[in-house]
Chains A and B, each alone.
Chain A
């Protein structure tokens, strides 16, 4: 970060993603236009060349994720961004990234669906992001920012996780966190030690052994071993990389579970509930994969009930129920995304009273 950069700047969430990516050393962006993520390609097209990087507008989402694949195989920190229908098109490439153990950042400023849907704040792509929208038995790192600061910080973190585990990472936002403006600190990239990229293709150069980046394994037992290796990495993520915010949980009898934009609204509702004497707290998963299942299992020992709030008709709630494992009731309140369907804090407060 240069000296002239102000400590605090007023940015849109989508712009914060760009500055986070550039600060993290990302020098290659490949993408295709779609609302509501348009600020990202626009800013990257003007900023990346200033940093010796390249912006390339691809002919399709399919091409852009495969350009990322090629850039990543050659050792670059690279990213693409899109929104739901475009992310659907990238699923083939995401599966190949996972199978070939290639890092890379995919930003989904998601919109509502199914189909063309609309452009409003939506969490309808939780399943697609977390359960693997592409084919094969893979997992992907999924981070869910709920503020502009987190759009910046988690973009940098996503690159580090992605490199460390050689696994694609997704930043899952929506039009609310992407379009709103907040004052944030452009913090310098955290210093982390990452494994050397001793697997990238560069041309053999001085090497005598060729390097191959691939996901096809036809030998007897080869593919099973490869999948077990992929799952071991997923296990390591579950053990070491879970992030969640805890809000007023110490004596909470009712625990709200919400991520991203829904968590912002729910936070206000929790405060309203506390002001009226209700013992309500909230767990906000920041990593959707790995999911904070142990946090929830621990909370299930003390809380009476859970209330999961999402901007969809019930997706993350399935993971909450698995973590709670039948020990407590898990209620759900969600609004299918669309124009005029963002819940208000008062609306969530009413749900809290009903579930309490």
Chain B
């Protein structure tokens, strides 16, 4: 009887134990990145740019060349890298504190210039590594280490919607928000990442994929509760969908 492999570790993903907390979505998202690098034959020509936070450990899991960036500056680092190695595949992998707070200037201007790299934005509504402080994406009323009693719109402002914001910029080819809290969403996220990567590989375009993600440890939830929170609380504030797609004729079906 012939055996057929139906599921395996992507080549671009290292065979190492994960250090991420139980129920954290980083591992799942890493896998989606890796399988798309494999699918598009990009592993050997990829330069990843890791950011600051739990996302920094990208190079511990992905078997590609990686530059570690200062906090929030990954889009500037990727700009320099891509300008020099213009035939290579460059992407940044950033969390919400990194991209939507300290790095807003770098992401907006890289997007506006239409730099030829892809951005993966992991939004878990908190600063994970530093211990669950309030992020620009923290939901109203959400308790955090620095918003006891919950985030207040009057005091702290509203959660920021990056995928919608970046969709306003002419340099952006594709801006979308996905989640990975159920199999259907995972498949959609997989497609979105593939589309973003293809836009860079084939057309040299800037694409932005926001991925809603869990942080059970800092949310004070078990993995199942955390996963449920994505649908119950996050998606109502951060709607899934594509906010810009310059290829909408042929894509996104």
Residues in chain B near residue A71, CB distance under 8 A:
80-81, 83-84
Contact A210 B69 (CB under 8 A): no
Contact B80 A67 (CB under 8 A): yes
Of the listed residues B47, B77, B78, B105, the one surrounded by the most CB atoms of chain A closer than 10 A to its CB is B77
Of the four ranges (under 10, 10 to 19, 20 to 34, 35 or more), the interface on chain B belongs to 20 to 34
Residues in chain A near residue B89, CB distance under 8 A:
203
Q: For residue B57, which residue of chain A has the nearest CB? A: A216
Q: Does B46 contact A (CB under 8 A)?
A: yes
Contacts known (A71-B84, A204-B43, A205-B45); A66 close to B67, Cβ less than 8 A: no
Q: Does A282 contact B (CB under 8 A)?
A: no
Of the four ranges (under 10, 10 to 19, 20 to 34, 35 or more), the interface on chain A belongs to 35 or more
Cα A68 to Cα B70 in complex, Å, equals 12
Contacts known (A204-B43, A216-B68); A76 close to B109, Cβ less than 8 A: no
Cα A28 to Cα B65 in complex, Å, equals 21
Residues in chain A near residue B82, CB distance under 8 A:
70
Contact B73 A93 (CB under 8 A): yes
Residues in chain B near residue A78, CB distance under 8 A:
80, 84
Cα A210 to Cα B34 in complex, Å, equals 14
Q: Does B178 contact A (CB under 8 A)?
A: no
Cα A294 to Cα B82 in complex, Å, equals 44
Contact A212 B109 (CB under 8 A): no
Q: Does B168 contact A (CB under 8 A)?
A: no
State the Cβ distance, A95 to closest chain B Cβ, in Å. Answer: 8
Residues in chain A near residue B83, CB distance under 8 A:
28, 54, 56, 67, 70-71
Contact B80 A59 (CB under 8 A): no
State the Cβ distance, B69 to closest chain A Cβ, in Å. Answer: 7
Cα A62 to Cα B107 in complex, Å, equals 13
Contact A70 B63 (CB under 8 A): no
Cα A249 to Cα B114 in complex, Å, equals 58
Task: Return the CB mask of B71-106 against A: 1 if under 8 Å, else 0.
Answer: 001001111111111001100000000000000011
Contact A63 B66 (CB under 8 A): no
Contacts known (A54-B83, A60-B105, A74-B84); A212 close to B68, Cβ less than 8 A: yes
- A selection of 10 A-B contacts at a CB cut-off of 8 Å is A56-B79, A63-B109, A67-B77, A67-B79, A74-B85, A96-B70, A203-B65, A204-B64, A214-B66, A216-B56
B binding-site residues for A, Cβ under 8 Å: 43-47, 49-50, 56, 59, 63-70, 73, 76-85, 88-89, 105-106, 108-109
